[in-house]
Structure 1
């Protein structure tokens, strides 16, 4: 079977591949924030990118140092990406990325949950070394600070909680031996 791809189909495919690569950049950025991994977060930006989150505006290096320092003060954080709208034009693209972020400050009766919802307004470029953020402005749409109400989960040792010290399960993937054997053989437990 000989398949011929028309030029408009090639363009559609190129745009889909670009959008997927940009989505991976956004996911790497978010993972770098929540796992406190500055190298992963930094790789999302071109070296000469401009980043403006309101309380900081400047270079990627300065922003990542600022963000990592701010997030390290929290007990935990979780950033959820919502819809992503990306328009690709050649080797450039513009995007709007919705997010919802949760941050835990304090412990015990003093624990507070900080929620922030907003959007990243981005410009992306592929300069021959893959798609990266060339410019980003963080827009806050709403926020809340509330007393934490999940003590049941925090005191129940049967739950698995995320870690930010390089020992998160998503990084280690240290499955029990039986799970690893079943995974390799395709067996269900």
Structure 2
């Protein structure tokens, strides 16, 4: 076993996973800079609804998600093939996503989706980031929201977006109403 190669492989996997997590967290917290940090500047992103560079894509995604009441993107298994010496990698990343929409009659609806990202990653100037991404949707469901209990229980801490989430503010002195976001 070559310990240096093993360490380089582990570091690459850690940094690629960091980029994957930054992408998802940037979407859910409406943090454009964080989402952009997951890509190289000349990356190609294809979600089906739009194909373009990272700035065009991120602006599209941020605007699309901002029109919703909330979202949560969860990463599942991450399968990576890494050549740390060459600074290249490819991967398939499973995800599950929840989006809170407002229906035509004003009622809350939940759009649930599951799919995969098929990615190529590059290391440039020591930074691993997404170079190419294609989003594949495996299934989707649009259903009536069924979480009225969250509105009824005023002590439950709700998430926020656009800099207002407790994970971003970490304001432990804020009120105890549970309505953090």
TM-score by length of 1: 0.86
Match of 1:146 in 2: 143
Whole-angstrom CA distance in 1 between matches of 2:27 and 2:33: 10
- The match for 2:40 among 42, 46, 51 is 46
Show the counterpart of 2:178.
none
Q: Distance in 2 between matches of 1:17 and 1:78?
A: 27
Give yes or no for the alignment of 1:165 onto 2:159: no
What aligned pairs does 1:97-136 form with structure 2 within 5 A after superposition? 97-106=93-102, 110-136=107-133
Deviation at 1:165, TM superposition (A): 2.3
**Superposition pairs of residues 27-106 of structure 1, within 5 angstroms:** 27-89=21-83, 90-106=86-102
Shift of 1:156: 1.4
Task: Give me the whole-angstrom Cα distance separating, in 2, the residues matched to 1:45 and 1:16.
Answer: 20
Deviation at 1:167, TM superposition (A): 1.5
- How big is each residue's C-alpha offset from its partner over 1:138-188, in whole Å with a ceiling of 9 and x where there is no partner? 0000000000011011221111111012011101111249xxxxxxxxxxx
Question: How much does 1:109 deviate?
Answer: 7.0
CA distance in 2, matches of 1:168, 1:137: 29
* Structure 1 moving runs of 4+ over 3 Å: none
The alignment of Structure 1 onto Structure 2 pairs a total of residues equal to 171
1:20 alignment partner in structure 2: 14
Matched with 2:177 is none
Tell me whether 148-157 or 117-126 shows the greater mean CA deviation: 148-157
Rg larger in 1 or in 2? 1
Q: Which has the higher helix share?
A: 1
Q: Rate the CA distance shift 1:129–1:16 in 2: closer, same or farther, 3 A.
A: closer
Matched residues in 2 for 1:17 and 1:158: separation? 41
TM-score, scaled relative to structure 2: 0.90
1:181 is matched with: none
CA RMSD of aligned residues (A): 1.6
Instruction: Name the structure 2 match of 1:186.
Output: none
Is the partner of 2:149 in helix, strand or coil?
helix
Please list every run of 5 or more consecutive structure 2 residues that lacks an aligned counterpart in the other structure. Answer: 175-181
Unaligned runs of 5+ in 1: 1-5, 178-189
Moved more, 8-17 or 49-58: 8-17
Measure the CA separation in 1 of the matches of 2:74 and 2:134: 17
